[in-house]
Structure formats: structure tokens, C-alpha cells
């Protein structure tokens, strides 16, 4: 359950959402996507309420841990999405190479490791024409090295595509590293406690994690969660 949740997202902005279990982070994404009904209020797009039926034209939702077309080869899933959204062969090949799926194209989706499963979902999100990506725990349950690599892959692809991104994570460091702003939520019911604006320079790199500015913002976010 959410209560009095309201914030704006600028075009091309990356917004991270953090909070304890029960804070309604996934509920927020599902409400924005139109999966869950909203009892009060609206989801607005470019200043106007956006009916649920039209949200699929504006946004693409990548749920946590879900992989479509489990029995299909990766290449067939990518081809299907390319056909639906009229993306060229070159665009598909560029996306496959950028996300690092080349070595698993012939594998069936169900056989992919968690890391490659996340890469596939990211590739599908990038192949859609939707300007807004909703991502629920996009890099959860991955080892540290794979998680760091996929974070950097997302930032590189964002730099190329400039899509707007709203994502949920339990990882404070990840939120600070990826996002322009971080929404901190509290539970029972889910509310916005504060919105942080780290303002870290772009492009971002792994070395940034060791900077005093980054560590200060991480501490600030952690304090906001605990308060």
C-alpha cells in the first residue's frame, strides 16, 4: 500500500528508489505501469493524466526475476521483439553486442544464468521504442563483479539511448552510482521520506565508488533510511 506518493521525473533522468521491505517499491512500479489500480491520484505523462490503456505505449516494465518465452532460444526472442517494434538487424546486433549476449544467442531462455537473464531483459527494454523503462531490482542476486559490469553496461547504453529510467533496488551504493536522484521510502504505508540529489558527474566510472563525495552520499542515504 502507498500513501501520498508524488514526484516528477524529467526526460532522460535516472531515478532510483530505495527503502526497506514493505515500503511499496515494487507496488510503485506496478502502479505506474498500470498493473495495479490506483485508488486516488493519477500517473501523468507530459503534464497530463495517462490512461492505463495507453501506458504500454510510453513505458516498458522489467519485473524482478521474470524472463519471457522460457522455452525459446535467445535469438528468437530478440528477433520477435525486433519485428514487433520494427528495429533493424543492425540495431539488434548492436544491442546484443553492447549487452554481451553474443555467446548465448542459441541457448534457450530457461537455461541462462541469472546474469545473462538480466542482460536479456535489458536488451529487450532497449529494443523497445518506449522512452521510459521501469526496472525492478534489475541486478539483484548477482555476484559483485557481474553486478558492477551490468551497472556500467546500463550507464553506457543510457548514454547512447537517453531513455528515462525509474528503478528499484535494495542496494544503496547502486542507487547512488546509477541515479540522478534517489527516492527514499518508508513502510506501512509506503511513503516518500525524502528525495536525494547526489548530482555526481557523468560519465560515471568504477573509481567513483572510492571518492569522498560518493561515500558521503552513501552515508546520507543510509541515514535517511534509518531515520
Which pLDDT score, from 0 to 100, does residue 145 have? 86
Give Cβ neighbours of residue 4 (< 8 Å, ≥ 6 apart).
191, 192
Distance CA 189, CA 200 (A): 31
pLDDT tens column, 2-37: 998 999 999 999 999 999 999 999 999 999 999 998
Domain that holds residue 198: 14-66+132-226
Distance CA 227, CA 224 (A): 5
Q: Is residue 121 part of a domain?
A: no
Q: Is residue 72 part of a domain?
A: no
Pairing of strands 132-136, 59-62: parallel
Which pLDDT score, from 0 to 100, does residue 53 have? 76
Q: Is residue 126 part of a domain?
A: no
CATH number, domain of 55, equals 3.40.50.300
pLDDT tens column, 63-81: 877 677 889 999 999 999 8
Q: Is residue 127 part of a domain?
A: no
Which pLDDT score, from 0 to 100, does residue 149 have? 86
Q: How many domains does the chain have?
A: 1
Q: pTM for this one?
A: 0.91
Q: Is residue 114 part of a domain?
A: no
Q: Is residue 92 part of a domain?
A: no
Mean pLDDT of the chain: 90
Q: Is residue 95 part of a domain?
A: no
Q: Is residue 150 part of a domain?
A: yes
Amino acid at each position: 500500500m502507498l500513501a501520498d506518493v508524488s514526484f516528477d521525473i524529467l526526460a532522460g533522468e535516472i531515478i532510483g528508489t530505495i527503502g526497506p521491505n514493505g515500503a511499496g517499491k515494487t507496488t510503485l512500479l506496478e502502479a505506474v505501469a498500470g498493473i495495479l489500480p490506483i485508488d486516488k491520484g493519477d500517473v501523468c505523462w507530459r503534464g497530463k493524466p495517462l490512461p492505463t490503456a495507453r501506458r504500454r505505449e510510453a513505458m516498458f516494465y522489467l519485473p524482478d526475476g521474470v524472463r519471457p518465452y522460457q522455452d525459446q532460444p535467445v535469438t528468437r526472442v530478440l528477433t520477435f521483439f525486433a519485428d514487433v517494434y520494427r528495429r533493424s538487424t543492425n540495431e539488434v546486433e548492436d544491442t546484443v553486442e553492447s549487452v554481451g549476449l553474443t555467446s548465448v544467442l542459441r541457448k534457450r531462455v530457461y537455461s541462462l544464468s541469472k546474469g545473462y537473464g538480466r542482460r536479456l531483459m535489458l536488451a529487450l527494454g532497449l529494443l523497445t521504442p518506449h522512452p521510459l523503462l521501469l526496472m525492478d531490482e534489475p541486478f539483484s542476486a548477482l555476484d559483485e563483479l557481474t553486478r558492477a559490469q551490468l551497472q556500467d553496461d546500463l550507464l553506457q547504453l543510457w548514454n547512447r539511448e537517453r531513455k528515462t529510467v525509474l528503478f528499484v533496488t535494495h542496494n544503496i551504493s547502486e542507487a547512488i552510482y546509477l541515479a540522478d536522484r534517489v527516492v527514499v521510502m518508508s513502510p506501512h504505508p509506503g511513503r516518500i521520506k525524502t528525495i536525494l540529489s547526489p548530482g555526481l558527474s557523468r560519465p560515471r566510472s568504477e573509481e567513483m565508488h572510492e571518492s569522498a563525495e560518493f561515500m558521503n552520499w552513501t552515508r546520507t542515504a543510509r541515514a535517511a533510511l534509518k531515520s
